[in-house]
Amino acid sequence: MFDLDSRDIKFLPGVGPQKAALLNKELGIYSCGDLLGYFPYKYIDRSRTYKIREIDGNMPYIQLRGRITIFETQGEGKSRRLTGKFTDGTGVIELIWFKGIKYILEKYKTGVEYTVFGKPSLYGHVFNIAHPEIDPVEAIEKIPGLQPYYNTTEKMKTHFLHSKALQKIMYHLWQTIQSPLPETLPAWIIARAQVIYRHEAMRNIHFPQSPDLLRKAQFRLKFEELFYLQLNILRFTRLQQRKLGGFRFDKIGNAFNDFYHTCLPFELTNAQKRVLKEIRADVGSGIQMNRLLQGDVGSGKTLVALMSMLMAIDNGFQACLMAPTEILATQHFETISELVKKIGLRVELLTGSTKKKDRERIHEGLLNGDVHITIGTHALIEDTVNFFNLGLVVIDEQHRFGVAQRARLWKKNSRPPHVLVMTATPIPRTLAMTVYGDLEVSVIDELPPGRKPVQTLHRYDNRRGPLYDSIRKQIQSGRQVYIVYPLIQESEHSDLKNLEEGYKHIQEIFPEYKVCMVHGKMKPAEKEAEMQKFVAGKAQIMVATTVIEVGVNVPNASVMIIENAERFGLSQLHQLRGRVGRGADQSYCILITSYKLSEETRKRIEIMVRTNDGFEIAEADLQLRGPGDMEGTQQSGIAFDLKIANIARDGQILQLARDIANEVLDKDPELSANEHYILKIQLQKIFKKKFNWSLIS
Ligand code: ADP
Ligand code: MG
């Protein structure tokens, strides 16, 4: 049997050294196996031919059949174009070319029947199709209904290696394949996942026999791609856990119980209780916990973190909490110190600006075990910070930390401590499974009782009068207001409201109130002082950049105004909105934009106005932007070069793939069974070039 992977494409009919070199360089395709793995990005249904009179202004690519009656060229030089009037007896449209005019005039003749394919658009009163695809009628009759389209680069196109040429090459390749393609999944998985065989899938992905078979082919290939991705991640995680083991927190002791009975200021929500049970099961299992805790802003994650830390302390371990900013770390420190005041634990704050003397004192307390809980920033992962017996690490707002940073904390004890990662930037489950495939996921999907959902409004920036009136009313009734700007200094976009200008403007509008300002370029002490004015209620309005995005907790603030809201991403808007609605009053978030908005921006704003549900927003964000741009994916270290699966749309397939990958590893952790030999081979083949998970061990 021949091996497609070792057969060079240059020996295929219709390829040759020149085209082969292009395919190498432009698409990384060297072997026939590579070529077969280059899938179409879309299929166009050519089973239906439209009549010209059916065309309306809102059609995708369509197929027409008729004759060109006359060619005309217009314009000179760069604006020269060729128009062909095209009719099928029911109407007339124009075919237009801006390039390759000579070639078109030589190739196509008036009066001959052609099939024309393209996207009609309306110009003036006449529909036209720019750069249509034109074929003799007979040629099209040989193509089945669904025509595949392959992505090609500009360079390839100038060498006539366009989609159609690739399709032809693919056809030649397929003709050379004599025996069925070797299977890449074990038989039991094929049966269990109910997928078709690889040979059938490959045939139909390139040459769909029917819409149904195409769908089955896509399902099979998506499943396979996601399955190997999951198998790889899960295998690594399990290996790691087995090798290293984890600290066992057997008992619930005084720290936890005393806190629960005497310090806890309110009843836990059911979601908090459920998550605590999940954590308790993890830390009691003898395997290292790696858990992602997702919960919307204000859902009470801090409390869950604290109570998990108490579990560690009850078992003779220390715990630490790492936050992305100094402000946030300080706030956590204050909250937590206050909460555990009665049970006599030593809690310390360690950040970049901790004084040398204090730092030495804290370092010492960490080493001899006097300090129970440490809260800090990146300063915690410095090599100079060493613990007596670190058992649990909590990381807040994980999207700011990468895999590598997480890994550094693993090394702070003889075995890796348990890790709880918290985020208020919800990640759709499907994405979390891929990006944080090594983490189990817990969700707090319930807010503490008594919160009124924030009301979100969209206003255009040319009507500020009524807005300022309502701000004044809010302040008169004792509330505070945030106003957020996207930039600190005026950039080349002079229409952008700049923070300092805004600050002055607001001071002029509200001379009777105190306005403070916070931005990222301030010195920490200065920032802290301004922040403190607001926290203490001395300033009624805070003008700020996104530095307030995470963590800041001022329950009395009830209005969040976001200027140039069109400049913010969905998850950022949601984070900012989370700064209000923390008290008992009705809160408002006002998104101010200019009148002219792109389609996508309008959608973003609409979603924000419609829902407060962080998961729904994350889902929408993923749909709008795709996974590559999502916060967190860049740091994750996983290249998002999926060939066929789409994480935004294929959540169910991903779940199935993960379940089956887990099943495989339950049965055969080493993949040593004969029937799993193929899994090993495939893993090696797929991941030889990709991210090396062992880097984080
Ligand atoms: P986040 O999940 O955004 O980190 P926090 O932990 O800061 O949320 O909690 C937000 C607020 O809700 C805090 O003031 C906290 O004291 C309060 N809180 C947390 N849990 C509860 C609860 N079960 N009942 C009432 N209030 C709660
Ligand atoms: Mg928080």
pLDDT at residue 584, rounded to an integer:
77
pLDDT at residue 561, rounded to an integer:
95
Q: How far apart are CA 288 and CA 238, in angstroms?
A: 10
Residue 628 has pLDDT above 70, yes or no: no
pLDDT at residue 311, rounded to an integer:
97
DSSP label at 440? E
Q: Give the pair of three-digit tokens for residue 469.
A: 């009136």
Ligand 1 atom 4 nearest Cα:
301
- pLDDT tens, residue by residue, 22-41: 999 999 999 999 999 999 98
Q: Rg of the chain's alpha carbons, rounded to an integer?
A: 31
Residues in the chain: 697
User: How close is the Cα of 301 to the center of ligand 2, in Å?
Assistant: 6
User: How many CA atoms, within 13 angstroms, populate the side-chain half-sphere of residue 317?
Assistant: 27
Which CATH topology does 455-611 take?
Rossmann fold (3.40.50)
Q: Give the pair of three-digit tokens for residue 667.
A: 């049965």
Torsion of CA 8, 12, 18, 22, to 10 degrees: -60
Q: Which bound ligand lies closest to the C-alpha atom of 446?
A: 1
- pLDDT tens, residue by residue, 550-606: 556 788 999 999 999 998 888 889 888 988 988 778 999 999 999 888 888 899 999
Ligand 1 atom 27 nearest Cα:
448
Which string of b and e fits 657-676 if b means at least 16 CB within 10 Å? bbebbeebbeeeeebeeeeb
Residue 493 has pLDDT above 80, yes or no: no
Q: Which bound ligand lies closest to the C-alpha atom of 554?
A: 1
Distance between first and last Cα of the chain: 40
pLDDT band at 496 (very low <50, low <70, confident <90, very high): very low
Q: Give the pair of three-digit tokens for residue 510.
A: 């509200």
| 47-142 against 455-611: fold identical | no
pLDDT band at 641 (very low <50, low <70, confident <90, very high): low
Ligand 1 is surrounded, with C-beta below 6 A, by 266, 268-269, 272, 295, 297-303, 424, 448, 553
Nearest to 560 by CA among 506, 480, 615, 451: 480
Calculate mean pLDDT across residues 637-654: 71
Q: Give the pair of three-digit tokens for residue 16.
A: 């040759």
User: How close is the Cα of 272 to the center of ligand 1, in Å?
Assistant: 10
The mean of the pLDDT values for the chain is: 86
Nearest-atom number in ligand 1 for the CA of 272 is 23
User: How close is the Cα of 111 to the center of ligand 1, in Å?
Assistant: 76
List the domain boundaries for the chain: 47-142, 211-245+644-696, 254-444, 455-611
- pLDDT tens, residue by residue, 362-390: 999 999 999 999 999 888 988 889 999 99
Q: How far apart are CA 429 and CA 157, in angstroms?
A: 39
- What SS3 class is residue 24? helix
Calculate mean pLDDT across residues 40-47: 81
Nearest to 149 by CA among 61, 43, 221, 45: 43
Which CATH topology does 254-444 take?
Rossmann fold (3.40.50)
- Identify the CATH class of 47-142: mainly beta
Q: How far apart are CA 696 and CA 560, in angstroms?
A: 40
DSSP label at 565? G
Q: Which bound ligand lies closest to the C-alpha atom of 575?
A: 1
Mutating to test ligand 1, I would choose from 263, 266, 445 the residue with most ligand atoms within 8 A of its C-beta, which is 266
Calculate mean pLDDT across residues 629-658: 66
